[in-house]
């Protein structure tokens, strides 16, 4: 199921990719806010590294699960928790690599993958609009 957190914020003007990316990932609900923000801690976290180092910087590569586990030095439950969040956003897609699953950035491009997210948001908002109109019609 598609799921995205939406916050209305002004665009950031930082020239620091890690700061911009971390703010974006917090804003869409991929990264969880815990305590005081510390960019250095965020940059070392599994979900941030998974997004940036794996899918953003190597958007053309399909990553087998075992390779992701080794690269990120993490456990299967942790890896799958973050993969499932990205799948829920429809930013990555799951592919079959023989007997193993692999994951790749949708359309091999963050920008193109985000177009897919925007389409999902539009469909969700259209469905909300229909429900609102139906509810309003019932109370009139």
**Which residue range(s) make up the domain with 80?**
17-139
Residue 120 lies in a domain: yes
The mean per-residue pLDDT over the stretch 45-60 comes to: 98
Residue 66 is predicted with a pLDDT of 97
CA–CA distance, 108 with 57 (Å, rounded to integer) = 10
The tally of domains found in the chain comes to 1
Residue 125 lies in a domain: yes
Residue 8 lies in a domain: no
Residue 10 lies in a domain: no
Q: Is the pLDDT of residue 113 over 80?
A: yes
Residue 94 lies in a domain: yes
- 68: domain CATH number? 1.10.10.10
CB 117 within 8 A of CB 68: no
CA–CA distance, 92 with 75 (Å, rounded to integer) = 20
pLDDT-derived band at 69 (thresholds 50, 70, 90) equals very high
Residue 1 lies in a domain: no
Residue 6 lies in a domain: no
pLDDT more than 70, % of the chain: 100
What are the DSSP E strand ranges found in the chain?
63-64, 92-97, 100-105
For the segment 72-83, what is each residue's pLDDT rounded down to a tens digit? 999 999 999 999
What are the backbone angles phi and psi of residue 19, rounded to the nearest 5°? Answer: -65, -50
Residue 9 lies in a domain: no
pLDDT-derived band at 64 (thresholds 50, 70, 90) equals very high
């Amino acid at each position: 199921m598609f799921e995205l957190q939406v916050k209305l914020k002004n665009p950031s003007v930082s020239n620091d990719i890690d700061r911009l990316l971390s703010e974006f990932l917090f804003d869409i609900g991929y990264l969880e806010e815990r305590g005081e923000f510390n960019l250095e801690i965020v940059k070392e976290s599994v979900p941030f590294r998974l997004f940036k180092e794996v899918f953003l910087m190597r958007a053309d590569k399909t990553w087998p699960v075992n390779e992701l586990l080794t690269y990120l030095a993490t456990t299967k439950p942790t890896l799958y928790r973050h993969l499932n969040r990205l799948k829920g956003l429809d930013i990555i897609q799951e592919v079959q690599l023989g007997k193993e699953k692999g994951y790749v950035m949708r359309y091999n491009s963050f920008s193109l993958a985000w177009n897919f997210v925007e389409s999902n948001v539009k469909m969700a908002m259209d469905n909300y609009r229909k429900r609102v109109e139906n509810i309003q019609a019932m109370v009139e």
